Amino acid sequence: MLSILIPTYNYNVFSLVKELVDQTSKLNIDFEIICLDDGSKITFVENEAINQLKNCSFSSNETNLGRASNLNKLVEKAKFNHCLLLEADAFPENENYIKKYVSLINENITIAFGGVIYSNEKPKNNSLLRWIYGHKRESKNLDFRLKNPYNIVFSWNLLISKEVFQKFPFDASIKDYGFEDFIFLKKLKENAVPIHQIENNCIHQNEETSIEFIKKYNYSLQNLKKLIDSEQLQYEDTSLSALYLKIKQLKLDGLVAFTFKISKKIIIKNLTSRYCSLFLFDFYKLGYFCLLNKNKHV
């Protein structure tokens, strides 16, 4: 009935899998949990113990395939038509998490997104940026998501039929980090594939420091530029690149890039402090993208 698929990288996913096994076993349904590590540099002995749990498997790619290809491979491995895609650093908000998704399978719903929330416990000062960003930009209530069914969706905590996924798979040509899920969801929207929004949150237990989050965002913006240059995305597709295009048309992109370059250290100092500002982070992203498009060292 249900294949639960978890891509992993440098993460101990045992506690998540154990919780999912406990919840699913109570429902007396056919299920499997497949964890596929994408060539991690760090080994967790706990992950190997997953193979001892009921209907569970943990294996590793010999080399890093990238998130897109790893997810495609996971879905290919799935033996059931309904797949629940999860992140390694996610955790169900309540004990009826799997039960809610099973009820949707019984209703023949092919895609459903349950929502993402973040802990109310404030992290250390050097990790505040990711926590604040998650609360303000990613955690949206059901009413908002129902009004914006394609805008607030992630490619995890996502129930999707194998048939639909294989019709619109992740773009395997994308090897680098960033926007691979955006292209996947864009294809669903363009083909009018309905996404059912429900209240079935996962807690994103992301523990990145602010500087780690900034570096990851840098990689994602580098990939965004590559995707636009290769015409896999258009400038109008994302709010950031659309804003950049307007600034470029006004011939202000050079000024923004210059301002970013001379203020970068000050901005990073703010973003890694207890006073981190999302407004400054938005300017950081725009300035970084402007500088990238000027083909200058960032």
For the chain, percent of residues with pLDDT exceeding 70? 99
Q: What angle do CA 174, 179, 185 make, to 5 degrees?
A: 100
The mean per-residue pLDDT over the stretch 38-66 comes to 95
Q: Are 129 and 210 in contact (CB under 8 A)?
A: yes
Examine the pLDDT at 296 and tell me if it is beyond 90: no
Strand partners, 6: 35
Residues linked to residue 37 through DSSP beta bridges, in sequence order: 8, 60
Distance of alpha carbon 252 from alpha carbon 122, whole angstroms: 38
Band of residue 212 on the pLDDT scale cut at 50, 70, 90: very high
Overall average pLDDT of the 210-219 stretch:
97
Residues 271 and 214: beta-carbon distance below 8 Å: yes
Model pTM? 0.94
Residue 152: pLDDT above 80?
no
Q: How far is CA 214 from the centre of its chain?
A: 15
CA-CA distance, 102 to 105, in Å (whole number)? 5
* 152-164 mean pLDDT: 93
Which pLDDT does position 7 carry in this prediction?
97
Q: Is 4 helix (H, G, I), strand (E, B) or coil?
A: strand
Alpha helices in the chain (DSSP H): 14-25, 45-48, 67-77, 97-106, 128-133, 142-147, 162-167, 180-190, 210-229, 239-249, 253-271, 278-293
Mean pLDDT of 162-171: 96
- Domains identified in the chain and CATH numbers: 2-204 (3.90.550.10), 210-293 (no CATH)
Q: What is the mean pLDDT of residues 188-211?
A: 95
Tell me the per-residue pLDDT of 113-124, one tens digit each, with 9 for 90 and over: 999 999 999 999
Tell me what the mean pLDDT of segment 138-162 comes to: 93
Map residue 49 onto helix, strand or coil.
helix
pLDDT given for residue 297 in this prediction: 58
Radius of gyration of the chain (CA): 20
State the pLDDT at residue 175. 84
Lowest mean pLDDT among 53-67, 80-94, 155-169, 171-185: 171-185
The confidence score (pLDDT) of residue 153 equals 82
Q: Which residues contact 273 (CB under 8 A, 6 or more apart)?
A: 125, 128
